[in-house]
């Protein structure tokens, strides 16, 4: 009993590993990591504002992490915190004159609704800008700084409010009472008016360069599935009116943006209704004509773009396991490489008014997102922040991009992390960390979190493989479509081929292979623990799918699920959908499986976890089900993240290394 108590104390960080100077990461340190969530460079280029994800501590009530506001002067390069937790900010934006930073916040001591505030460049007390009757969802300042556009849900009709008070609060599927509309506020008078007068639900928006119009992305219905699959871009006058359709697009779509001279409009979108990711860049004349895909045939995926000037776009792409920045000429589509492939992984940037200096949030295998400063034309980045200095004293597993051959002789890429102290010729236990989506990708940057245990495992003697199986982004549209109507077919064979390659190279013990992941990665892990149970000695299924029939009938994204992944509705071929469900092979299962799920998950409802757990229990497989109250698709609360991270680490140590 004394030994068990001692081990428990170590596991919860009371002794040994809880020390910030220790050389081995603990689950608590991982959960408490701080990282940059947004970066905004002052238009004049003298300051960089950024938000920092800051966790709650054990004395605070349950909830998600905060976003603190920090500013660094480019004269002294010393970051300073302007707004600390428990206040939290998001959507930071500089005023055009660079004198103030605008942001969204719910400052309960001042206003119960989320409003727009502004704080001077040299700090001080924020001033409230909007006094909207309901939460402000998003906002954008006009190019001249005289107007502020914001989105807000309509008020609930009075008769609906009254009936709800009487207990008539039933929910009728596919009906709604309110939508989100676009509003504009005159910053001189404080007066606001509704801009979007058609009954479309507004998801995001921005100003045109002349400040006379707004461009917005909207759908006919206010549901998540519609936001994913059925939106279009519109133009509307700042004074309000009916939105003008820019182009009748199909499939996944992001917000369009007008060129500085007003001649062209560009957007990031899908090539068709079944394209899994909006990773192509389209450009067309604003006044008419057909769009041109500037990345047609490109073996990568666009994840961000902005107009650099009237003749070119800045575009960030994922290619294999790295990110890149290009200048793309309009309308020719000629690409010029600017940055990336080595150094930090980044997903967006903020450009100063001179069109040269920029700031971004970047990460490497040694640290999560930090602030970096750069200049177009130079491939060098200067790091401006160090939010987790204790990481500098840590020894991490060597991380590299590798490749192997999958079915059809297709080259598959992935990220491999070797255990600390790796010795060539020794075989190690392997954990396969599978990304979700599947329209996502594992990148050669920071990959450790409460639900991705990469360096935690590498420091404890595990090899970790993160495969970008077919269906992943970063290899072009055809590759991203490579798993359609073949879920857990060749995409899973890609993963098995990666394991077999590591075994053939003498790096991995084939009798000590585990797997884990969340969402689609959880589905993959459930498939491994049932259909291919003989290959895996431990599995962790987080927010995963066990029964594709019941999942398809209960998820909040049935259309996205059907049109993108299956390319047909499940009701058209129930036998095939059942054939690709882990539950069908439950009698074959013998892999010890840890199952974790959020109780309020709408994407993959919690019933999926119960179905898998009860099937495994029936057949006597060692399993554990942990359901986290209040949590959606992923865990927000610190205590829940910490609990799951500890359980996962213990599960692999127990079944792959035979350590209690």
CATH of the domain at 102: 2.120.10.30
In this structure, the answer to whether residues 323 and 266 fall within a common structural domain is: yes
Give yes or no: residues 507 and 570 share one domain.
yes
Beta bridge pairs of residue 48: 41, 72
What is the CA angle 533-599-513, rounded to 5? 20
Segment 623-644, tens digit of pLDDT:
999 999 999 999 999 999 999 9
H-helix segments, 45-101: none
CB atoms closer than 10 angstroms to residue 398: 13
Q: What secondary structure letter does DSSP report for 154?
A: P
What was the pLDDT predicted at 109?
73
Mean pLDDT along residues 612-629? 98
Is a pLDDT exceeding 80 seen at residue 8?
Answer: no
pLDDT in tens, 62-104: 999 999 999 999 999 999 999 999 999 999 999 999 999 999 9
Q: Which residues of 288-318 are buried (b: 16+ CB within 10 A; e: fewer)?
A: eeebbebbeebebbbbbbebbeebbbbbbbb
Same domain membership, residue 245 and residue 143: yes
User: Can you give the pLDDT at residue 448?
Assistant: 98
Instruction: Assess whether pLDDT exceeds 50 at residue 38.
Output: yes
Q: Could you give the strand order of the β-sheet that contains 312-319, starting from the edge strand earlier in sequence?
A: 301-309, 312-319, 322-329, 335-340
The C-alpha atoms of residue 368 and residue 55 are separated, in whole angstroms, by 14
User: Measured in Å, how far apart are the chain's first and last C-alpha atoms?
Assistant: 13
Question: In sequence order, what DSSP letters do the residues of 321-379 get, joined into one string?
Answer: TEEEEEEEETTT--EEEEEESSS-EES--EE-TTSSEEEEEEEETTEEEEEEEEETT--
Query: CA 273 to CA 255: how far, in whole Å?
Result: 17
Whose tokens are 């970790």? That residue is 464
Question: Taking 50 as the threshold, does the pLDDT of residue 7 lie above it?
Answer: no
Residue 492 lies in a domain: yes
Judge whether 20 lies within some domain: no
Do 334 and 408 lie in one domain? The reply is no
- Looking from the CA of 169 toward its CB, the CA atoms found within 13 Å total 5
**Residue 374 located in a structural domain:** no
Same domain, 413 and 340: no
Contact (CB, 8 A) for 468 and 517: no
**Together in a domain, 549 and 450:** yes
> Coil, strand, or helix at residue 26?
coil
DSSP annotation of 142 reads -
| Residue 349 and residue 443 in one domain | no
Mean pLDDT of the chain, nearest integer: 95
Domains: count for the chain: 2
Question: Under DSSP, is residue 303 helix (H, G, I), strand (E, B) or coil?
Answer: strand
Rounded Cα distance between 542 and 101, Å, is: 39
In three-state secondary structure terms, 273 is coil
Q: Are 102 and 242 found together in one domain? A: yes
Per the CB < 8 A criterion, the answer to whether 570 and 548 are in contact is yes
Q: H helices within 219-353, ranges in order?
A: 224-229
pLDDT digits (tens, 9 = 90+) for 188-246: 999 999 999 999 999 999 999 999 999 999 999 999 999 999 999 999 999 999 999 99
Residue where a domain terminates, one of 313, 331, 359: 359
Question: Is 326 among the domain residues?
Answer: yes
Q: Are residues 339 and 406 in the same domain?
A: no
| Domain annotation covers residue 270 | yes
Pair 412, 350 in one domain? no
In a domain, 68, yes or no: yes
Candidates 272, 274, 271, 330; CA nearest to 302 is 271
Residues sharing a CB contact under 8 Å with residue 587, sequence separation 6 or more, in sequence order = 619
Hunting for tokens 């360096």 — which residue is that?
A: 455
- Burial of 449: CB neighbours in 10 Å, binned 0-12, 13-18, 19+: middle
Q: Give the end of a domain, one of 337, 359, 381.
A: 359
Q: Are strands 192-194 and 115-120 parallel, antiparallel or unpaired?
A: unpaired
Average pLDDT over residues 316-341: 97
The first and second tokens of residue 113, run together, are 């609704």
Q: Which two tokens stand for residue 218?
A: 């909207």
Taking the C-alpha atoms of residue 297 and residue 476, their distance in angstroms, rounded to an integer, is 7
Give dist(CA 30, CA 24) in Å, integer: 11
HEC profile for 483-522?
CCCCCCCHHHHHHHHHHHHHHHCCCEEEEEEEEEEECHHH
The predicted model gives 328-335 an average pLDDT of 97
Distance of CA 206 to the CA centre of its chain: 21
Average pLDDT over residues 369-395: 97
Find where tokens 């914001």 sit. Answer: 150
292 within a domain of the structure (yes/no): yes
Shared-domain flag, residues 340 and 444: no
- Confidence category of residue 660, pLDDT binned at 50, 70, 90: low
Structural domain boundaries enclosing 509: 397-656
Cα pseudo-dihedral 530, 536, 538, 544, rounded to 10: -40
Contact 85/75 with Cβ under 8 angstroms? no
Q: Are residues 334 and 401 in the same domain?
A: no
Q: What percent of the chain has pLDDT over 90?
A: 94
Distance CA 293, CA 282 (A): 4
pLDDT at 5 over 90: no
In a domain, 648, yes or no: yes
What's the pLDDT tens digit per position in 129-185? Answer: 999 999 999 999 999 999 999 999 999 999 999 999 999 999 999 999 999 999 999
Residue 532 has pLDDT above 50, yes or no: yes
Which of 535-554 are b and which e, b meaning 16 or more Cβ less than 10 Å from the residue's Cβ? bbbbbbbbbbbbbbbbbbee
Which percentage of the chain shows pLDDT scores above 70?
Answer: 96
Which CATH number fits the domain that encloses residue 611?
3.40.50.1820
Residue with tokens 């947004």: 38
Q: Which of 39, 145, 61 is nearest to 387 (CA)?
A: 39
């Amino acid at each position: 009993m004394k030994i068990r108590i001692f081990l428990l104390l170590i596991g919860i960080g009371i002794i040994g590993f809880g020390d910030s100077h220790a050389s081995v990461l603990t689950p608590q340190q991982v959960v408490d990591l701080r990282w940059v969530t947004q970066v905004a460079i002052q238009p004049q280029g003298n300051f960089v504002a950024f938000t920092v994800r800051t966790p709650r501590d054990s004395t605070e009530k349950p909830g998600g992490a905060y976003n603190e506001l920090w500013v660094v002067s480019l004269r002294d390069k010393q970051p300073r915190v302007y707004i600390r937790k428990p206040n939290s900010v998001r959507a930071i934006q500089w005023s055009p004159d660079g004198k103030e930073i605008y942001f969204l916040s719910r400052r309960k001591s001042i206003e119960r609704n989320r409003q727009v505030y502004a704080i001077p460049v040299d700090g001080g007390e924020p001033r409230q800008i909007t006094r909207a009757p309901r939460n402000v969802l998003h906002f954008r300042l006009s190019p001249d700084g005289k107007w502020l556009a914001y989105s807000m849900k309509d008020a609930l009709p009075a008769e609906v409010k009254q009936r709800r008070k009487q207990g008539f609060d039933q929910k009728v599927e596919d009906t709604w009472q309110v939508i989100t509309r676009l509003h504009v506020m005159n910053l001189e008078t404080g007066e606001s008016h509704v801009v979007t007068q058609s009954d479309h639900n507004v998801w995001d928006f921005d100003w045109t360069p002349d400040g006379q119009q707004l461009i917005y992305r909207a759908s006919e219905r206010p549901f998540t599935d519609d936001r994913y699959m059925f939106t279009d871009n519109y133009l509307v006058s700042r004074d309000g009116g009916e939105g003008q359709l820019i182009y009748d697009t199909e499939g996944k779509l992001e917000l369009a943006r007008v060129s500085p001279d007003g001649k062209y409009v560009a957007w990031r979108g899908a090539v068709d209704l079944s394209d899994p990711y909006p990773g192509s860049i389209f450009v067309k004349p604003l006044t008419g004509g057909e769009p041109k895909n500037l990345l047609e045939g490109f073996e990568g995926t666009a994840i961000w773009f902005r107009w650099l000037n009237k003749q070119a776009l800045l575009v960030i792409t994922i290619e294999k396991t790295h990110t890149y920045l290009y200048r793309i000429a309009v309308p020719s589509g000629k690409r010029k490489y600017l940055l990336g492939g080595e150094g930090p992984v980044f997903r967006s940037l903020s450009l100063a008014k001179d069109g040269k200096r920029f700031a971004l949030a970047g990460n490497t295998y040694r640290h999560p997102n930090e602030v970096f400063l750069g200049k177009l034309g130079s491939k060098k980045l200067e790091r401006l922040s160090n939010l987790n200095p204790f990481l500098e004293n840590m020894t991490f597993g060597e991380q590299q991009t590798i490749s192997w051959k999958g079915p059809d002789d297709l080259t598959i890429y992935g990220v491999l992390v070797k255990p600390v102290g790796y010795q060539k010729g020794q075989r190690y236990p392997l954990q396969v960390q599978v990304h979700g989506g599947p329209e996502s990708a594992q990148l050669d940057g920071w990959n450790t979190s409460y639900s991705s245990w990469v360096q935690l495992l590498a420091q404890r003697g595990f090899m970790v493989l993160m495969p970008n199986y077919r269906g992943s982004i970063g290899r072009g549209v055809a590759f991203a479509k490579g798993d359609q109507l073949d879920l857990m077919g060749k995409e899973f064979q890609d993963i098995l081929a990666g394991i077999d390659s590591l075994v053939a190279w003498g790096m991995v013990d084939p009798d000590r292979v585990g797997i884990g992941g969340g969402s689609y990665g959880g589905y993959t892990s459930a498939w491994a623990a049932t259909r291919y149970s003989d290959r895996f000695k431990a599995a962790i299924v987080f927010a995963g799918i066990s029964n594709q029939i019941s999942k398809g009938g209960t998820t909040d994204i049935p259309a996205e699920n059907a049109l993108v992944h299956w390319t047909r509705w499940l009701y058209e071929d129930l036998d095939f959908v059942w054939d690709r469900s882990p539950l069908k092979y439950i009698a074959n299962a013998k892999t010890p499986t840890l199952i974790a799920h959020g109780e309020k998950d709408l994407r993959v409802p919690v019933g999926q976890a119960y179905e898998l757990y009860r099937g495994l229990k029936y057949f006597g497989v060692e399993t554990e089900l942990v359901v986290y109250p209040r949590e959606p698709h992923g865990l927000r609360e610190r205590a829940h993240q910490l609990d799951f991270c500890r359980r996962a680490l213990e599960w692999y140590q127990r079944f792959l290394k035979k350590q209690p």
